[in-house]
Amino acid sequence: MTQRRNDIEFQNRVVRIPIEDSIDLHTFQPKEIPSLLKEYLSECQKKECWKFESSMGKGRGSEDDRSFFPRKKPLVDSYETAPLEAGAWGATLVYLKRSD
């Protein structure tokens, strides 16, 4: 996938995050992830990026990003724990609903 950049306003600061098929959440605090993912999901839909991997790592509260996805059903079609070779429970595969 071609890397595209987008500025996301996040907690009164602008964060430059590439809108692509993965997002690395290691640098964010668990409490920051819900609001960050809200913006990221919206930007992914705008860029027609329908599937991406959310990576938070093991042992750092990786359930925090997964617990967010059910609340975003208007945008999220489904999500699942990544396969072993892609990080297992340290990563989540997210499939967004296509806007037709």
Tens digits of per-residue pLDDT, 27-85? 887 778 888 888 888 899 999 999 988 887 665 544 556 677 766 778 889 888 888 88
Domain ranges of the chain: 4-96
CATH topology (fold) of 4-96: Ribosomal Protein S8; Chain: A, domain 1 (3.30.1370)
Any long-range contacts for 6-14 (C-beta under 8 Å, 24+ apart)?
A: 6/43, 6/47, 8/36, 8/39, 8/40, 8/43, 9/39, 10/35, 10/36, 10/39, 11/35
pLDDT in tens, 12-39: 666 678 888 899 888 887 778 888 888 8
pTM of the model: 0.72
